[in-house]
Amino acid sequence: MKFSEEQTRAIEAPDGLVVVSSGAGTGKTTVLTGRIRELVRRGADPMSILAVTFTRDAAREMRSRLEDINCGNVRTLHSLSAVILSEAARAGYLPDWTVMSESDCQELLLETMQKLDFDLDDLEDKEKFLRESLQTIERWQENGLALEDTLDASRPDLGPADWLVGVFGAFEAHKRERGLLSYADMSNEARRLMKEHPDLVMRAMGDVRHVLVDEAQDLSLSQADLVAALSSGCGNLFLVGDDDQSLYGFRGSIPHFMERVEEFFPIPAAKGVTRTALTLNRRCTRQILRPAVMVADCTRRAVPKVLEGMRDGEEVAILPFATEKAQLKAIAERIAQGIAAGAKPADYAVLARTRKTLLNVEVAFRKAGVPVDLRSGARFSERSEVGDIMAYMALAVRPACFQSFSRIAARPVRGLGATAVNVIATHAAGRPFYEALAELSAESSAFNTKARTEMRRLGTLLHMIHNGYLSSCQSLTILDAVLKDTGYEKWAIKNKSTASTAAASIHSLRQMAADMTAFRDFLAELQTMRDTDVPAGQGVYVGTLHASKGREWPHVVIMGMEAGVFPVGDALRGARVKGCPGRWDLTPRTDIDEERRMFHVGLTRAKETCTLTHAMEKRTGQKVRDFMPSTFYYEAGLNPMKTRAPMTLGSRRRREARERSRG
């Protein structure tokens, strides 16, 4: 294979510490595999070369390119830690252990807090609190903090969570007692064991003479320490990364790592340091690279960003829309037109900063006949609130359906558990459930007064929507009757962690019902949505900017380019206010530079065209708000005001009200 001059310099670098700053689309995987082949050509045993990356996909890709030389030591960081820990257990250095899932960790953390007499009942969102507490503990671990470090009051990196230190100690003790490790524990534990037992690396990995690390900019302190321990015996470390693609500060990745590598790897550095850069982008057009470089240059950095293209193409397109609905409709139609003209669905990607922005993409694309490869969040038909509404709608047509009734009996909560449902079903004996509910609520002594009242209300509703169906009521009339009479919408958005998804789902259902006035058509549409799964890689990729890293497509759309959405609002404010009281505010503020890097990554996923879209009016929960275009347009040298979307009547009235209030 022919390499460029830049790639050749990196591949043929001498032993010691080699640092390759590899911009987006410059061929870092080519350089990594080329370096491994070069080491083998120099006489290295392929099994003495250890290549480490972050994802299974990246490891699989590297292995496939190296099949002919049998380089078996290509691993993710987690699999590397697992191999070391397994060998430590075999050698008797560590008791048998089991890796915990995130949900297991949350359950154990809750158990730990309850044993410490923490009262969590008054919290608005217990699940979110537990998740953020766990993230704080994991961030301490990724930063290499042991329990004794958290007890040091002089440590400025602990954040406003000193109350959590006691929980941390008890949580760790519970894990040790039960032989449990979290994913965050694995690299720390592997590093500790390697220091205590120098023979462990040889036992687990063989005679490692060269270590190569992909995506080095994403290393946390504990992971960097693990790599340092692995490379200290040979002194040969080859790092490939790009600080402008560092997106995991919230997980503990080291800021500006590629500029500071000598601090973390003194033994390879003592052998000699070679720095080189890959700046020739083979993926994107110059028109796409220009704004990508400009936004990268807005980050705090020591030297300007250099990333050069090899070909020209279309300018980055900016599409403003009056509403979020208009935005989704237009994106779906543009992609449908491209597919009709001969492009493949998999040639397109729709990306956004958050999952929330992507919630209604699937519905809009389905309406336009565009297949979707959804990578962020549950499919529309799999969301719990959609399944609940489908069950209510099904009971309007089939009032004796047990499966549908058993689902909605306690959604929202009305005091009808599994036992009550079985009693009602037995009494119904195949008749409509509204008949059984009416009879039991009037005469049964098996239920208390509150339960009978709820049964009577539910029976009345089910009878009403069944009659609505028989008399050809419009879809939206029946749907609104369910939402109003049950209080379902208010109940569904009560959980803060899922409120935005629930509100967006219900809003989409109402839009679908308004578009399909015939109830039978509406119900058929809901039911057939379950049968439209698209095999991975065969539909339009829909996912977050985080998830898009390492991928590329001919055509990329980045939607949700509104100020406060991207960059997220707390990055602009410099602080985040959470629902937890006082010192129980655990989430670190978002770094504006990390937001800029996300935009840089998003732009550089596009090979041929890149389209940026924003809506001037968006629904947030149950409210409609006005939005300005993202500040990132201006930082990237783009003008979002060149084309203006027409204002809706609501936007115009809100603007007039603001102007009046200012006097």
Question: Is 657 labelled a binding residue?
Answer: no
| Cβ contacts of 409 within 8 Å, gap of 6 or more | 416, 420, 421, 424, 458
Please tell me the distance from the alpha carbon of residue 520 to that of residue 509, in angstroms, as a whole number.
Answer: 14
Question: Is 417 labelled a binding residue?
Answer: no
Please tell me the distance from the alpha carbon of residue 633 to that of residue 13, in angstroms, as a whole number.
Answer: 39
Q: Give me the residue label for tokens 């279309």.
A: 314
Please tell me the distance from the alpha carbon of residue 377 to that of residue 438, in angstroms, as a whole number.
Answer: 39
Please tell me the distance from the alpha carbon of residue 254 to that of residue 219, in angstroms, as a whole number.
Answer: 6
Question: Which two tokens mark 118?
Answer: 């923490």
Question: Is 28 labelled a binding residue?
Answer: yes
Please tell me the distance from the alpha carbon of residue 185 to that of residue 84, in angstroms, as a whole number.
Answer: 13
Question: Is 394 labelled a binding residue?
Answer: no
The DSSP bridge partners found for residue 542 are 350, 374
CA trace torsion 278, 282, 285, 290 (10° rounding): -10
Question: Which two tokens mark 242?
Answer: 């790009």
Reduce the DSSP state of residue 630 to 3 states and report it. Answer: coil
Rg of the chain (C-alpha set): 28
Q: Which of 119, 551, 91, 554 is nearest to 347 (CA)?
A: 554
**How many CA atoms are closer than 13 Å to the CA of 115, on its beta-carbon side?**
14
- List, as own/partner pairs, every contact residues 509-514 make where C-beta atoms lie below 8 angstroms and the sequence separation is at least 24, other chains included: 509/386, 509/389, 509/479, 510/476, 510/479, 510/480, 511/325, 511/363, 512/363, 512/475, 513/474, 513/475, 513/476, 513/478, 513/479, 514/475, 514/476
Quote the DSSP letter at residue 234: T
Q: Give me the residue label for tokens 């979290």.
A: 182
User: Beta-carbon neighbour count of residue 159 at 10 Å?
Assistant: 16
- State the amino acid at position 345 in one-letter form: P
Question: Is 29 labelled a binding residue?
Answer: yes
Residues 555 and 313: beta-carbon distance below 8 Å: no
Question: Is 26 labelled a binding residue?
Answer: yes
Please tell me the distance from the alpha carbon of residue 253 to that of residue 221, in angstroms, as a whole number.
Answer: 7
- β 623-626/606-620 pair status: antiparallel
Residues 313 and 285: beta-carbon distance below 8 Å: yes
- Specify binding-site residues: 22-29
- Specify binding-site residues for ATP: 22-29
